[in-house]
Structure 1
């Protein structure tokens, strides 16, 4: 089944879409893909069939989003907690992911037509290497597309994402790219897997449950106190400047204009350090995907050589 369906909407779907588009539309919608196992149990089919049907419904949903002009979609496809399920079910989910990402690589023309950029958010090192390579190939091959974005959260939990962001900031301090005083809520947000995306306007759980299940916790909570973060950063800058002046003042008081100049210079220096750190972090992440993608190309060429010489 294709990731992006080309079939026309039915009449009732078109009418519904036109009604929805008459009002304000969200720009970014997130989905917790849930209910596949309950669907399979209700229909008396294997769990794997339920997960397959869940993917087909995702493809239909993406068609809707394209038609409605929703340019960014984030889906919770596989939680790190899912590794605790039975070996058979986990293996089935991993195999399904391999099939779907392999299919995705065959749909480059369609993805380019719609300008779809694929991002995969999560700890890919927890996945089998061949799946890592397929994912990386999909990410790298669509990186330049910018009309709409599909973020697939795979081997993901929000707690893991936040912990990883803290590790990234610690790496920046260790490398001398930033100072410990540069660490803030705002910087942590820029170190998340989802740093390239705006926070979702709407979060939907497909099964009707109301639990967040460790999905985008930081992103949803952060919307409530953006202004307070700016004030906190300003106060932190003032504190650092005060300590700096006490260290350099030699007991001589400074006038207000001089103190303001020092504050502006400190803020500019901090912003430059943070900018360089974020550039280095993006380069590190790009290199990770580029290296995996190159390995995938080598592997595909090898198997093609073996196949053609049998």
Structure 2
């Protein structure tokens, strides 16, 4: 796969690590990419930490990341703000000091109250509370522009799925009736920033979420790889709308060390997959694994129009594979 692409645009949470734990095989895959001259960018919707902090965390987990390899939604949000409000404007920051620093770096003034704020920027902070949201509500209702770093509803951690920035954005959306401008995935600003920093002509977007990573890749016209180490599941993948469908699917990032054809969504000789009268059926035609079945199921079902399928296993091997994928009950 590393022969086919000249850059890897890697999501962080759920793709290369989960909280304080590296995803198995991810560090080795990143090291191999660098050895082969493939550019690496860690592209994260998480706006709570500065690029230096992200690089340090990655290095502690064995990735040896440089600051220039990190692209955050905080950087993208600050860049969006710089094009929408005059230099020197006061911007109410809902987020960490790392986000405030990015606002400051583009010539704007970060503040923490609504008075005088012409814009609001919102990023993930574990310390964000009602009083902070109330200040933002006042500013937005008074006409301040609102930029959200991302709208991820959840954040994958070693403890499971926890509330993401999108959950708090939803609270403000409900309170104000206003939709924010979004800087992070699946919107274009963050992805465009990451691609531009690599000078790549054929980058591959890698992530664990259909609604952000894969949708962001599709919006930017880029190939994508969904890894099943984070949020999105085979059930969601099979039912995905066209704008959420990846080019490749794999258990984890280690697939980049193997031929691209192995992980590409498409038919597999080991599995016979048919769509008849709205029923998606599978039968073994050889010794195939469950992920190959998933790739074949997606190809057939998406070609037939997609939606939520009715699945049928024609033999024991297919039944076992569907159970392994979470697509059937035992």
Shared fold, TM over 0.5:
no
Larger gyration radius, structure 1 or structure 2: 1
The one of the two structures with greater contact order (alpha-carbon pairs below 8 A, sep at least 6) is 1
**Structure with the larger strand share:** 2
**Structure with the larger helix share:** 1
Taking structure 1 as the reference length, what is the TM-score of the superposition? 0.29
Taking structure 2 as the reference length, what is the TM-score of the superposition? 0.27
